[in-house]
Every structure is written in C-alpha cells, then in structure tokens.
Amino acid sequence: MYEDKELQEYRDLLPQPTHFEEGFDWKTIVGAVFIGFLMMPGSMYLQLVIGTGIGPAARWVTIILFAEVAKRSYTELKQQEIFLLYYMAGAALASPFQGLLWNQYLVQSDAARMLGLTEFIPTWVAPPGDSLSMVERTFFHRDWLIPILLLVGSQIIQRIDHFGLGYALYRITSDVEKLPFPMAPVGALGTMALAESTEDKQKSWKWRVFSIGGVIGLAFGAVYVLLPTVSGLLFTESIRLIPIPWIELTRHTEEILPAVATGIQLDIGLIFIGMVLPFWAVIGGLIGLLITVAANPFLYRFGILHRWHPGMETVDTVFANNFDFYMSFGIGLGLSIAFVGIWHVVRSFRGSSGSRGSLRDLFHPPPGRGDFNFWISIGIYVFSTLSYVLLCVWLVPNFPWIFFIIYGFLYTPVISYITARMEGIAGQFVSLPLVREASFIAGAKYFGYQGIEIWYAPIPIHNYGKATVDFREIELTGTSIRGIIKAEIVVFPVVMIASLLFSQFIWQLAPIPSSNYPYAQELWHLQALNTLLMQTSTLEGNSAFFQALSALYVLTGMGFGIVTYMILVFFGLPVMLVYGVVRGLGQSTPHGLILEVLGAFLGRFFFLKRYGAMWRQYAPVLLAGFSCGMGLMGMFAMGFTLILKSLGRLAY
C-alpha cells in the first residue's frame, strides 16, 4: 500500500514545513463576524434550495476581501492568516440551529404519522406539532427552550472535544508512526491557493487558475441558482433551465431497467470534483454502480425487490429497494470494508518502514508547532466522554448506562485508531455500520427498553480518525495549533447567535420544506422515512425495521464485498479502485456520477497530459474557484430573496 503510485502522487504534493506561526489577530476576529452574519444565511438558504452550501465560496470571498483590504493598507496576509480565515469560515458556516429546522419538520412529517411515531418523539428534540411555536414558525418560544439549551450545551462539549482523542491520535500516527497521510496535501493545497499571492512566482498560476474557476462558477450559478430564485420572486412560477436537483428518468427507463432509479444531475461542479478525486476511486465507484444497475432487474424478477412497481420515481424507488434488499446488503458491504481496513492496519504493523519514530517523539513534538501536552488531550477526551455519558443517562434514564461506557471508552478509541491508521496509510475512512443501531436494538430486546428517545440522545460514539487528517492539514500549512484554539474560542459565540437568528428568519419566510425550498421538498421525505424506519426497531411489536432486516442479505453483502476485494487485489489493481468498487456496490442514486466520471476522464486523459504533474496542484485550486463563483451567485440570490420577502411582510 505504501508503494501505490496514485497515493504517492498525492503524498508528494506539499513539502513538510519548517516554520510555524499562529496567524491569529484582529483580522481573524473581524473575519468570523463577517462570515457568521453575511455568509451564513446564504449557505443555509442554498442547503435548502439545491442541497449544497457555500462553504468554499464563503471562505474564499473572505480571504479575497481581506487580502485586498490588506493591500490598500500597505500590508499583506501571511499564509497562516489566510489558513486561519479559511478554517474559521468552515467552523462558522456549520450552522447548529439548522438541525432544529429538520427536527420541526420531523415532528410534523407525513413519515412520522405513517409509521406511528409522532407521539414518541421527545419534546426535548422539538415541540409537538400542535404547539403554538409550530403554527407561528418561531424558535423564540418557551417550548423551544430545552431543545435550544441542549443544543448549546452539546456544542460546547463538542468544541472542547475537538482537541481530545483526535489530537492524541494525530500525535501518535504522525509524530511517532510517521504515516504519510496521502490525501492531506490535497485539502491543504486548496486552502493555500491565494497564499503569498503578492509574490510573482505564486501569483503566476494560483490566482489565474482560481479566477478561471471563479468565472465558470459565476456563469453557471447565474443559470442554476440565481435565475430560478429571481424569476420565482418576480413571476408566478420559477424559470428553471436546469432541473433541481436532477432530471428524472426513472419512469422512462422502467421497462428496460425495472427497479433502477435513473436520472442525471446537471451540476457541473461534479465535473470539478471528479477532477480532484483520485481517478481510480471514481472509476471503482462507477464499476460498482454498474453492477448494481445490472443486478436490480434480476432482483426484481426473482421477487426480492417486490415493493417496487412501475410509476415510481427516484425517491420512492430508492426507499423501496432499501427496504427490500439494500439496507441489509449495505450493512454487509460496510462490514466487509471495515474488515478490510482492520486487516490492512494489522498488516501495516508488520511492514512498518525504518523511518518510524519513538515514544520520545510523542512528548517532544517539533518546536513552534503550538502543541500542548499529550496527557491534556487524553484528559479532554475523558472529560467530554463522561459529559456525554451523564447527559445521556439524564435524557434516557431507562436505557442501560453500561452501553454508554462501552461506546465512549471501548469502541470509540479502537475504531478511531484503526481509522487514523487507514487515513495515514491510504486516505480511507473506516467505520463499522449500524454499531450504534444494533446496540439500541439489543438494549430493547434484552434489557426491556422501549421508546425512541435513545435515537436522539448525544451518545458518545465517535470516530476521531478523520480529525488526524485535519491536524495534518494544519501542520502542512505551517499554522500553529495555538492559533486554531484561539479561533475556536472566538468563532463559537458568533456561530451560535448568527445561526439562531437566521434559522428563525428563513423559517419565517416560508414553511420548511415547501416549494420555496425545492431540495428539501424533494428529498427530506425520503430522509425522514429512512431515519424513522430505523427508530421503529426499539418499539414494542413487529417493527418496520425488523421487516426490512435480513441476516441472509447481510451475509451476502459481506461475502460479496470481501470476495470482490480479494479478486481486485489478486490482479494487482490500484488501492483506490478496490475501495471504489466496494463502495459503489451499495444502493445509491447514480444521477451525479455521470458528470463526476466525466471530470475524472478529463483530468486524467486531457489535463494531466497537457499540464503534467502540476495538474495535481491546479485541480484543487480550480475547484475552490468554481465553488467561490457558485457561492457568490447563491449569496446574491439569498440577498435578493431576503430583501423582497422582507418588503412583502411590511405593513402598508
């Protein structure tokens, strides 16, 4: 795995930095306020309209704006200041109160009524559907006090927890084991596209490539986002030249491909994503998906996919197929991926290279990086985990507390370490599917628990392996961890206040979901069905989940995944292709994969040949520019909507 050519290409994109700076000053504080109160509403709005936010756009707009202000002040932004602005933008755009918008829908949803779960959803998740706060669509009501306080409390614990076990595993895998983390340079390079832009050598290509992507994003965003939004406000019906979220083709292909959800998503951002992702991972996903498309008609004819019937569209087809087969089969595939990952981790210990460090490196990190004591991170992990345990015991007193201890102090550190090593070796995330769900069902079956409160409790099942990549990206940009800690402290109150205010305002504009928010209207029902179906497993009686779960299909999926992996490895195929095929075998919507594959082919066989190895650096910057342009159009559309809707609510 260490010798895989494609992984080596990504691994060598950035050199190890020798100098570190905090980058925290008044610019980052102003940047947090700017993002929270000017960018966050646009991101929240786009999530509901097209299903994607403006995270990259908000980050780049902030950097560009502050860079221009700095130039006119006869100064410049350092690379570390740029990264810190980028980091804070990402933290500020993660709107916590957007989850409450989902909760209010879940309580009132047709899916909850259909499955008979409306009365079982606890009031600390959301008030009941007949609450006055639901009628008036407002969070500023006493019925929302407990859900909001719980949200704020869990967010505080989560921010502290960020520097716990994830940081400890980063020190172990990066400093002691010297793992290469091949995908970290891709993320770090995207954030550094405008760094040192005052130098001709950097500006000669980074700014130019970023600008090209930005112009494409502006042009496409004007048609994809701005036109439907503005026309819907000015006329009785929106003008949509490009359907959102996709062109529905299932009914047109049902005779040839029964029980197969077909369509095409015309978001050209997928092309840029395909250029950035490892080529063989995309191709592997395509192969797995083609196998699934070929298998579904046979599964239908043999009566396995028996809930599907002609006339169904994508959402209904995916749900019916998941219920009949793919939920169980997907669990088996997930187990196969997890077993493969664990096997690689065990194998990697035998093949460790001579560059491996020692335990001394754990307590003597590189100078200037801003590290704190290793035992402090362990203490943070213990504190946050105990906080989650106590919170769960208080919210769900009938559930066996021993499960919470096992979650936090046994399962979490084991799976996190396995994932951290896999991320460090091959850039792959490892997870065991439905561990959380299986333990809930065991609690109901063997310990007499009945109810669905446990599904909403903040249980301490976490996988901190991905956090090791984040810390590695911070290191590659030469940013001190102390600067990151200060940024977290500053951005938290901004995020909480702005998120509450704008969630309230967007909910006031129109019911969520509704025709004003097409993505939510199209897909939230499917998400609610899948979510609530699982929750029926801890209620008395023959739940819908147990009707859908099949041990035979789970074992089939696990065996199929492992055999497929063994065959691909036997022929010496790339690591990314192996994981891509196994991942693509699960039931999913193929609508976006067509453009993603197109992007992969363009990147591999046109741009890589034309620009050589530099294309690996161009692609993330081009994607960042496109995201920026697309997001700017989304922000403009959001501003236009807020102004006209606000005027419409004024009393004349």
Task: State the angle between helix axes of 269-276 and 593-602 in degrees (0 to 180), rounded to the nearest 10.
Answer: 50
Condensed to tens digits (0 to 9), the pLDDT of residues 323-371 reads 888 878 877 877 787 777 677 667 766 655 545 556 677 777 778 788 8
Residues 469 and 181 sit within 8 Å (Cβ to Cβ): yes
User: Which portions of the chain are predicted below pLDDT 70?
Assistant: 1-15, 52-60, 186-204, 341, 344-345, 348-359, 426-428, 430, 432-433, 540-545, 575, 578-579, 582-589, 642, 645-652
Dist CA 264 CA 246 (whole Å): 6
Amino acid at 170: Y
Q: Which residue in the block uniquely carries the two structure tokens 């112009």? A: 215
Amino acid at 39: M
Four-residue CA torsion sign, 67, 73, 78, 84: negative
Calculate the alpha carbon distances from 572 to 4, 339, 565, 568 in Å: 10, 19, 11, 7
Contacts of 379 (CB under 8 A, 6+ apart): none
pLDDT value of position 16 = 72
pLDDT value of position 451 = 83
Each domain of the chain, given as residue ranges in start order, spans: 5-351+372-646
Dist CA 601 CA 595 (whole Å): 10
Dist CA 390 CA 388 (whole Å): 6
CB neighbours of residue 571 within 10 Å: 8
Q: Tell me phi and psi for residue 302, to 5 degrees.
A: -85, 5
Helix (H/G/I), strand (E/B), else coil: 128: coil
Q: Which residues pair with 125 in a beta bridge?
A: none
Query: CA end-to-end span of the chain, whole Å?
Result: 69
CB neighbours of residue 76 within 10 Å: 14
